[in-house]
Amino acid sequence: MFPVIVFTGYMADRLEDVKPTRMDLLRIRKRKMLAENGHQLLSEKKDALINEFFKIVDRRKELRAELNSLLKDSYRSLMEAQMIMGKKEVSSIAEGAVPLEDIPTSGENIMGVPVPSFDVHIPEEKFYGYAETTVKLDEAVNNFREVLKLSFRVAEVEGKLSRLADEIEKAKRRVNALEYIYIPRLEATITYIERQIEEREREDFFRRKKIKAIMESREG
């Protein structure tokens, strides 16, 4: 469901504008430690988000199955009401239904990710009389009200999945950037500085040794 980014054959470049000094070495090592800590936290967050994502996928499957079953019952009741009362009469009654307007929305938070939710109030008042209607029409009206409520719950779940999928992709990109680009670049920089320091210390050692030899030869 989520694309996997694979890095192969990549040689990390070192950071630019870094001096091969012990002070810079300590600074880069600290940055590497922070990057590794950040990588671990992001990886844990990504895994938790993925786990939550698939829980919601299972919930969506349940809601869709429930919605499909309820729709079948609703249309069956509607067709039976039309057969008893006539299609035009049912259509005329349906025009008196109160429309939904300005559906209020709110939000909740899943692991720091804002997700949408709906605060839907479905009018329960009767908008037709009982004298010339049938029980099947009552069943159809009640069923379609439940269909409407359930449809909003499905929409909420779909919205959650969309937001979580976006957040998971962001986390994956950041984790991959740290793991395959930034941290290797820091490691390459550390290796470069260490080698430069070692080379300089080696040269200083041989220089001191040579100076000492010259001084000893003069004293002799």
Residue range 159-191, pLDDT digits in tens: 999 999 999 999 999 999 999 999 999 999 999
Between residues 199 and 1, the one the model is more confident about: 199
Could you give the CA distance from residue 75 to residue 1 in angstroms, rounded to a whole number?
34
Could you give the CA distance from residue 169 to residue 172 in angstroms, rounded to a whole number?
5
Q: Which H or E run contains 69? A: helix 22-85
Could you give the CA distance from residue 75 to residue 50 in angstroms, rounded to a whole number?
37
Structurally, at CATH architecture level, domain 22-219 sits in: Orthogonal Bundle (1.10)
- Report the predicted TM-score, pTM, of the whole model to 2 decimal places: 0.74
Q: Which H or E run contains 159? A: helix 135-177
Q: Which H or E run contains 109? A: strand 105-110
Please tell me the predicted confidence (pLDDT) of residue 73.
94
Placement of tokens 């980014």 in the chain? 5
Query: pLDDT band at residue 12, thresholds of 50, 70 and 90?
Result: low
Domain spans in the chain, listed from the N-terminal domain onward = 22-219
The arithmetic mean of pLDDT across residues 62-72, rounded, is 95
Please tell me the predicted confidence (pLDDT) of residue 220.
60
